[in-house]
Amino acid sequence: MSRPSEENIQQIFDRIAPVYDRFNDLLSLGQHRIWKKMALLWCEPKQGETWIDLCCGSGDMTRLLAKQVAPTGQAIGVDFSKELLAIAASKTKGDPISMQKAIAWRQANVLSLPFDDDYGDGATLSYGLRNVADIPQCLAELHRVLKTGAKVSILDFHRPSDRLVQSFQNFYLDRVVVPLAERFNMTQEYAYIAPSLARFPIGSEQVQLAKSAGFSQAKHYAIASGMMGILVLQK
């Protein structure tokens, strides 16, 4: 299966926006929230800093960042799906005013970020690197907009090295994800997951790509029995 075009990926995420959160909870049994908090622990955002959450989706990670950098810092959620950004913005209405002021939303392409060089103190990217049209370009652009010493935490699926775990992952995608997508009439929208995972560089390859993009430090941590991974970088 060939890689969908950038426009097609954007349309997919606009279409799945209404069920995005529900699917994430069902497909991970709620574990994605724990994994996002783990990713945040590795990059250590601090009060008063400016952080960028790329491919922010419905804003879970952006809000976690805002709690860390508020009230004087800022967490900027970036996504190319206007539908997901609308949902993300709606979630903050019940948050404390100090946290609402610490959040900004930007519709943009991660391959051409609307920020100056050396702009951010750090960045996060959850379940988005696997879907970008050009991973090296995404990492290079991320490197450009961060200050020297800035940290990055990238959470995504991972292909486990253990054959038994790999078989379970394939079974889960085929027998759980696909039927669930069918129930919501989203079969085509979620059919991209398995092929996108097959194309996605494994941890050691991600490390090399990050170093080629200019990051001085890069380490990949396999979690969830190797089915997920967190790539931690420093400029």
CATH number at residue 135: 3.40.50.150
- The single residue listed with the structure tokens 């609307």 is 114
In a domain, 191, yes or no: yes
pLDDT at position 90 is 94
Phi, psi (degrees; rounded to nearest 5) at 3: -65, 130
Tokens of residue 95, six digits: 């948050």
In the block, which residue shows the tokens 């943009």? 108
Q: Is residue 190 one of the residues assigned to a domain?
A: yes
Confidence of residue 10 (pLDDT cuts 50, 70, 90): confident
62 membership: H or E segment, kind and range: helix 60-69
**pLDDT tens digits for range 59-93:** 999 999 999 999 999 999 999 999 999 999 999 98
Tell whether 217 is covered by a domain.
Answer: yes
Residue 14 belongs to some domain of the structure: yes
pLDDT tens digits for 179-202? 777 777 777 656 667 777 788 999
* Residue 1 falls inside a structural domain: no
Q: Is residue 95 part of a domain?
A: yes
Q: How many domains does the chain have?
A: 1
- State pTM to two decimals: 0.88
Structural domain boundaries, residue 137: 6-234
Task: Determine, yes or no, domain membership for 205.
Answer: yes
Domain annotation covers residue 15: yes
Residue 1 has pLDDT above 50, yes or no: no
Average pLDDT over residues 219-231: 93
CA distance 39 to 208: 20
pLDDT of 207 > 90? The answer is: yes
